[in-house]
Amino acid sequence: MALHPILPVIAGECLTSYLNRSAQWHCCMGLHDFLALVDLPRAALTAPGSETLDRLEGLLGLPVGRLGEMTFTVDGDGGRMLAGLPVQFEFGDIRKTKYCPKCLLEDLKPDSPSQGVAVGRIGWQVAHIRSCPVHGLALLPGNIQSPPKSLQLITDITPDQKALAGIADQATARKWSGLEAYISNRLARQPGPAWLDEQPIDVAARACEMLGMFLLQPPMVSLSRLGEEDWHQAGQLGFEISAGGGEAIRAALQERMDAALTGDRSGGAQKVFGCLYKWLQYRQDAKGKGPIREVVRELILDNFPYEPGTMLFGEPVDRQRVHSVYSLAKKAGITPRAVQRAAILNGLLDAELGKPRSYEILDAEEGEALTEMMLSAMSIAELAEFLGSTFKQADDLVRAGLISRMQGEDGEVRSTRKTILHASAEGFLEDLLAQAERVKAPSRGMMSIDAAVDRSRWPALDVFQGILSGALSRVEIVDPELKVQGLLVNPVEVRDALARMKGDGRVGSFEAAALLGMRQIEFRNLARLRGPDGTPYLAQHVEPNTRGRGVKLFDIAGIEAFLRDYVLLQELAERAGVGRLGVKYKLDALGVSPINDATAQGRLWYRRADVEGVLG
């Protein structure tokens, strides 16, 4: 049978305060005597379970749901709850409480709703609530000396009215924060920002405070030395950002990270993210961190080199996303300066040549592909051996652009430097040998390239271009192992075909690519492209050779016109004196797009009129 009439609950009142008032109102006795009268152990009220709540419902006439909003309860699995929401111990420590002196002064007035009895508020027991929403004051800590499991009463920490008035006059002003309002509203079942509502209330609150603390304090701040005002400000800022969700959090962290990694300042993820990193990395035994863990983890993996298998925030890294110049150089066994230069020249790194900085990063997959190219690159002598050609033939092929050097290695380069791309040389040789027919013995009139050069009076370079363009009706090879040395052509056909092709002012695809400074695969893609009006950027002609097979030829005049109307990204970067990526990002932001797509090592073409209109 419930005690009647049922005593009204004061807004925000905690259970022990309500029981204390009920004991005085119904029985004119103190709480402890009242509990003994109804045979209810004090310890059962520190975190009541379902059995205790059922007894209180029958005694006080308040539904279990309402009682659960007034105290921390224990569910069937032993977990703590408040207002039906699961929380960890740190969310509210029943061994500690806070109070607002002005609230208590108002309670002690005889005409107050509590009729002169001090009222404890459940919000004062929540660790993340540090101010009073009514009076705008900082909550003060109460000095409770009783054992941890004993029953705590607000009357035990309330000074006398005169002392309380003096305390109220000296109280520090503190505005009710957005985080405190969010916690209060969520306990009242009111919706808030979706990103926060999707996680437990205590996890969301702690994430806001840790985010704000990182943004407001030096990275390596000692959290144990910070005061309540520091945590209050951190919670306010962290909530404002977290309300925008994961993208807003990442943007704020990115801004702080960029500010930390400038000039000669550098450091790893732990140095940059400091207390936030240590909280996520080393407190694995503590409560769950929620989705902020994934936001920070993704940002770190996108900006710092972490090898696969490395444990980051309790989870192994599945793949390495980025390299610094130093990590890539170490993995490849190449000097950092060489890696930096190659990465900048190949458009993988937007940086200036000089001492590499640890925060200058590039895509891991593209970077490792670049170092593989560097390690497999050849000198002229090695190229000649690979092709089975003479040194001069190899040198001419590179100078003409039929075989590519690494990006940025154009012009005069010492022949001993290993700058020639193995893949380009391999592709050239495959295309060249693909034009030859395997025979047991040479046909009549067929002879080696060197002999045909002497007879036809055409340079070996032109002969190679004629073979690749398909202008020669017959190319033979007896022993493919001899490679270039094994190729056989007819000098008479060489003379006639080259004279006809050159006389018409046309070149084959390989020579056209060389004139444009492009690799063969890039040129093929460009040759297929069409402008907005549907016409190709490079007009091509198909002419039959002596055997009737179609040969694709390109007008030299058309190539020259293309070079007048379009410009390479590399040329724009050199003109501006900055890296390619910097120019590309600027053009992207201005809405200027290239006419072609490119891989990381590809070359982008822009209409000169479009570029000059925005870059000047």
pLDDT at 286: 45
**Mean pLDDT, range 454-475, rounded to an integer:** 88
pLDDT at 614: 73
Confidence of residue 42 (pLDDT cuts 50, 70, 90): confident
pLDDT above 80 (res 551): no
pLDDT at 80 over 60: yes
Residue 381 confidence (pLDDT):
94
Per DSSP, the three-state class of 151 is: coil
Positive or negative: CA dihedral 366, 372, 374, 379: negative
Among 10-14, 257-261, 381-385, whose mean pLDDT is lowest?
257-261
The answer to whether 209 and 231 have CB atoms below 8 angstroms apart is yes
Q: Give the separation between CA 166 and CA 82, rounded to whole angstroms.
A: 34
Instruction: Supply 165's token pair.
Output: 């008035």
* Separation CA 233–CA 585 (nearest Å): 37
Average pLDDT of the residues in 56-82: 91
pLDDT per residue over 419-443, tens digit each? 899 999 999 999 999 999 999 999 9
Q: Where are the alpha helices (DSSP H) in 28-71?
A: 31-37, 50-60, 64-68
Task: Taking residues 210-218, report their average pLDDT.
Answer: 96
Higher pLDDT, 596 or 151: 596
Q: What pLDDT, on the 0 to 100 scale, is given for residue 410?
A: 52
Q: Which residue has better confidence, 513 or 138?
A: 138
* Domains (range + CATH), the chain: 15-170 (no CATH), 178-316 (no CATH), 322-376 (1.10.1660), 504-616 (no CATH)
Query: Once rounded to an integer, what is the mean pLDDT over residues 8-36?
Result: 92
pLDDT at 585: 83
Instruction: Output the CA torsion sign for 164, 167, 169, 174.
Output: negative
- pLDDT for 1 equals 65
Q: CA of 229: how far to CAs of 232, 365, 440, in Å?
A: 5, 46, 91
Q: What is the pLDDT of residues 125-156, one digit of tens each?
A: 999 999 999 999 999 988 655 554 456 688 88
Residue pair 597/572 in contact (Cβ under 8 Å)? The answer is no
Express as a percent the part of the chain with pLDDT over 90: 57
pTM: 0.76
User: How far, in Å, CA of 465 to CA of 444, rounded?
Assistant: 23
Residue 425: which of 460, 466, 461, 379 has the closest Cα? 379
Residue 330 clears pLDDT 90, i.e. is over it: yes
Residue 399: what residue type? R
Question: How high does pLDDT run on average in the chain?
Answer: 88
Write the pLDDT tens digit of every residue in 383-413.
Answer: 999 999 999 999 999 988 889 888 765 545 5
What φ, ψ does residue 116 adopt, rounded to 5°? 90, 5
- The helix/strand/coil state of 73 is strand
HEC readout, 64-124: HHHHHCCCCEECCCCCEEECCEEECHHHCCCCCCEECHHHHHHHCCCCCCCCCCCCCEHHH
| Per-residue model confidence (pLDDT) at position 601 | 45
Report the pLDDT value the prediction gives residue 610, as an integer from 0 to 100: 87
